[in-house]
């Protein structure tokens, strides 16, 4: 799939200018001249994409045949192209053994923490950087099945129950990512209609859909100016643009950019490249796991500007803090607490 040639372009000069100003804004957040200049470039890019009319919706390729690790790395990882591995996790123990009933039986009495971060939640009351609440796991699962709005996102629950990691095909993850280190597991459990808004982050990942149906909208990072994220120094970027096109007055040109769409069914595996914007909506009660991994080449290639910001301008946490808690800090509770809320390689 020659994705780069299918998607409408943004003038390279304008993209480079916006990227440079976005970097500068992280250092000079209160400088009006930088904000105004960036806004002018953003509107110029929006005017350009509008010239070609309404954007296309391109289905993400679905591979129904098995693919070798070498071919996957060459065709998708190195080129930053998303792909669905049809029933790619069908033989993994997690897709055969996990369910709402099984989780409730095994861990229902455990107390868990739900963390909602600004820009990653569809709850209107998240007006600070982070909001958390504790709830019994069984009660949480019951409200998911009954249509409740509580949503477990980016949960390190597998760190609390490490035996669950054995339910993944770790050989597959190691070979397909080309790495023997850096793989992280984050659990997602949500009810019908719950949404994670548009966001992107440094690490590429595989998403294993255990049960339920998830609809993904994916947008390449070449449209960063249209997404217009905040320069808040977080370890992820988030955009208020609505995929249903309900606020294009605030995000001019958003209806005229090309996007991709993927619908994940049980046991499907989605590959999402580094810095690929994505919005995810649950169309049934779902359980899924994000298997993130480190690939420095793609992190830099897909967006040199965002990689630079993450390494040199991040504040929540800084590079030094992230490496300290990831590699040096030995106190498990403090390390987990820090890495659960922020890490250089998450979410």
pLDDT the model gives residue 130: 59
Compare 2 and 277 and report the one with higher pLDDT: 277
Average pLDDT taken over every residue of the chain: 88
pLDDT the model gives residue 337: 43
pTM of the model: 0.90
Q: How far apart are CA 199 and CA 262, in angstroms?
A: 16
State mean pLDDT over 80-87. Answer: 98
**193 with 281: CB under 8 angstroms?**
yes
State mean pLDDT over 170-175. Answer: 94
State mean pLDDT over 293-305. Answer: 94
What are the domain boundaries of the chain? 3-106+150-315
C-alpha distances in angstroms, 155 versus 147, 177, 193, 290, 344?
20, 22, 19, 10, 16
Q: What percent of the chain has pLDDT over 70?
A: 86
Compare 326 and 175 and report the one with higher pLDDT: 175
pLDDT the model gives residue 182: 76
Q: What is the pLDDT of residues 230-273, one digit of tens each?
A: 998 888 999 999 999 999 999 999 999 999 999 999 999 999 99
Band of pLDDT at residue 132, cut at 50, 70 and 90: confident
244 CB contacts (<8 Å, ≥6 apart)? none
CATH number of 3-106+150-315: 2.60.120.650
pLDDT the model gives residue 157: 81
State mean pLDDT over 288-309. Answer: 94
Would you say how long the chain is, in residues? 347
């Amino acid at each position: 799939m020659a994705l780069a040639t299918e998607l409408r372009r943004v003038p390279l000069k304008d993209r480079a200018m916006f990227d440079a100003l976005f970097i500068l804004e992280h250092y000079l957040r209160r400088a009006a001249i930088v904000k105004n200049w960036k806004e002018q470039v953003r509107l110029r890019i929006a005017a350009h994409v509008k010239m070609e009319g309404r954007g296309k919706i391109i289905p993400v390729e679905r591979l129904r045949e098995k693919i070798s690790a070498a071919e996957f790395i060459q065709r998708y990882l190195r080129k930053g192209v998303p792909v669905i591995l049809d029933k790619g996790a069908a033989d993994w123990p997690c897709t055969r053994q996990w369910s709402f009933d099984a989780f409730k039986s095994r861990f229902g009495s455990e107390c868990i923490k739900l963390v909602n971060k600004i820009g990653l939640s569809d709850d209107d009351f998240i007006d600070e950087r982070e909001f958390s609440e504790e709830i019994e796991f069984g009660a949480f699962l019951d409200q998911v099945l009954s249509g409740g709005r509580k949503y477990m996102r980016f949960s390190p629950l597998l760190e609390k129950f490490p035996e669950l990691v054995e339910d993944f095909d770790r050989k597959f993850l190691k070979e397909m990512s080309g790495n023997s280190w850096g793989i992280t597991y984050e659990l997602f459990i949500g009810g019908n209609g719950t949404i994670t808004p548009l966001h992107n982050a440094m690490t590429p990942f595989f998403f294993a859909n255990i049960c339920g149906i998830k609809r993904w909208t994916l947008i390449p990072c070449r449209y960063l100016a249209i997404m217009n994220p905040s320069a808040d120094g977080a370890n992820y970027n988030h955009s208020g643009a609505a995929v249903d096109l309900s606020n294009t007055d605030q995000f001019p040109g958003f209806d005229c950019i090309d996007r991709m769409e993927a619908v994940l069914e049980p046991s499907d595996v989605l590959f999402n490249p580094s810095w690929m914007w994505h919005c995810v909506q649950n169309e049934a009660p779902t359980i899924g796991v994000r298997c993130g991994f480190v690939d420095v080449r793609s992190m830099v290639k897909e967006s040199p500007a965002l990689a630079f910001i993450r390494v040199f301008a991040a504040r929540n946490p800084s590079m030094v803090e992230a490496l300290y808690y990831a590699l040096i800090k030995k106190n498990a509770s403090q390390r987990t607490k820090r890495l659960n809320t922020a890490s250089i390689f998450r979410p």
